[in-house]
C-alpha cells in the first residue's frame, strides 16, 4: 500500500518505521518545509494518508486530501471545533475520513472501561470525578485529545456532568464540569488518570503509555482498514465495538 505522511515529526517517523515493517511504501513525507511537493503526486499514487501535523495545519491538509480523493487517517488534536465542517466536506466529496484522538488499542479499551465506570458511579453521587493527563513538554494542545474523549465518555454516562473544564489557578470548580488537570513534563508519551473521590476513599483507573509505538501501530492499521472505503470512521469501527 502507498502511504503519504502529512506531518513528519517524532510521531510521523515512528509511523514510517512501522509502515515499512508491515510492507508498505511511503510515497511522501510532508511537513511545513516541503508542502509544495504534494502537488507532484498523482491522485492514484496514494492509497491512504496518515495525518499527524499541527492544529494550525490540519484543516488545510484534510481539505486538500478530500479534494484529491485520498482517504485520510488523522490523529492531530486541538482543532475539533472545526470537525463538523470537515466531515461535511468529506461526505460531499465521497471521501473517507478516519479520526481518533488516540490510536492505541489499549487506550481505546480504556475508553470503554471509562464509560462503564461512569455508568456504575451514577448510583453513588458522593463521589466527585476528575482527571489528570501528563504529556511531554513539546505537546502543543491542552488538555489532550485523549482527555477530552475521556471527559465526553463520562458526560455521556454520568448525569449532571455537561461539560469539561481545564483546571487552572484562580478558576473555580463547577459542579457540572469534569475537571481536567494538564501537566507537561519531560518526555512522557502520555498518562491519563480518571478518579472518583469521596470523603472516605478514592477510585482510580489509569492508562500509561510506555512509548509512541502503540499509537503508531494503530494509525497504520487504521490506514490499512480505511483504504478503499467511503465515510466517516473511528476506532470503534476498526475494533468492531
161 labelled catalytic: no
35 in a known ligand binding site? yes
100 in a known ligand binding site? yes
Spot the catalytic one: 10, 93, 115, 139.
139
48 in a known ligand binding site? no
In order, the DSSP letters of the chain are: -EEEEE--SHHHHHHHHHHHHTT-EEEEEE-TTSGGGGGGS-GGG-SEEEE---TTTHHHHHHHHHHHT--EEE---S-GGGHHHHHHHHHHTT-EEEE-S---HHHHHHHHHHHHHHHHHTT-TT-EEEEEEEE-TT--SSS-HHHHHHHHHHHHHSTT--EEEE--TTPPP-TTEEEEEEEE-TT---EEEEEEE-SS-EEEEEEE---SHHHHHHHHHHHHHHTT--EEE-HHHHHT-
Spot the catalytic one: 135, 161, 192, 207.
135
231 in a known ligand binding site? no
75 in a known ligand binding site? yes
103 in a known ligand binding site? yes
135 labelled catalytic: yes
193 in a known ligand binding site? no
160 in a known ligand binding site? no
146 in a known ligand binding site? yes
Pairing state between β 177-184 and 191-197:
unpaired
Binding residues for (S)-2,3,4,5-tetrahydrodipicolinate: 136, 145-146
Binding residues for NAD(+): 75-77, 100-103
Binding residues: 35, 75-77, 100-103, 136, 145-146
Active site positions, annotated: 135, 139
Amino acid at each position: 500500500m502507498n502511504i503519504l505522511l502529512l506531518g513528519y515529526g517524532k510521531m510521523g517517523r515512528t509511523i514510517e518505521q512501522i509502515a515499512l515493517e508491515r510492507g508498505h511504501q511511503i510515497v511522501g513525507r510532508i511537513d511545513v518545509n516541503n508542502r509544495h511537493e504534494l502537488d507532484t503526486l498523482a491522485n492514484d499514487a496514494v492509497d491512504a494518508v496518515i495525518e499527524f501535523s499541527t492544529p494550525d495545519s490540519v484543516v488545510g491538509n484534510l481539505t486538500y486530501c478530500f479534494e484529491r480523493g485520498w482517504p485520510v487517517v488523522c490523529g492531530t488534536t486541538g482543532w475539533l471545533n472545526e470537525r463538523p465542517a470537515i466531515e461535511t466536506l468529506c461526505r460531499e466529496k465521497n471521501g473517507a475520513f478516519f479520526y481518533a484522538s488516540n490510536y492505541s488499542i489499549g487506550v481505546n479499551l480504556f475508553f470503554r472501561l471509562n464509560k462503564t465506570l461512569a455508568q456504575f458511579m451514577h448510583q453513588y453521587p458522593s463521589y466527585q470525578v476528575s482527571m489528570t493527563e501528563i504529556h511531554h513538554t513539546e505537546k502543543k494542545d491542552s488538555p489532550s485529545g485523549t482527555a477530552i474523549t475521556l471527559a465526553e465518555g463520562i458526560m455521556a454516562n454520568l448525569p449532571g456532568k455537561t461539560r469539561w473544564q481545564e483546571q487552572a489557578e484562580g478558576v473555580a470548580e463547577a459542579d457540572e464540569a469534569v475537571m481536567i488537570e494538564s501537566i507537561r513534563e519531560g518526555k512522557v508519551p502520555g498518562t491519563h488518570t480518571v478518579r472518583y473521590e469521596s470523603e472516605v476513599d478514592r477510585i482510580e483507573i489509569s492508562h500509561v503509555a510506555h512509548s509512541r509505538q502503540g499509537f503508531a501501530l494503530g494509525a497504520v492499521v487504521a490506514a490499512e482498514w480505511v483504504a478503499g472505503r467511503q465515510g466517516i470512521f473511528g476506532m470503534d469501527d476498526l475494533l468492531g465495538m
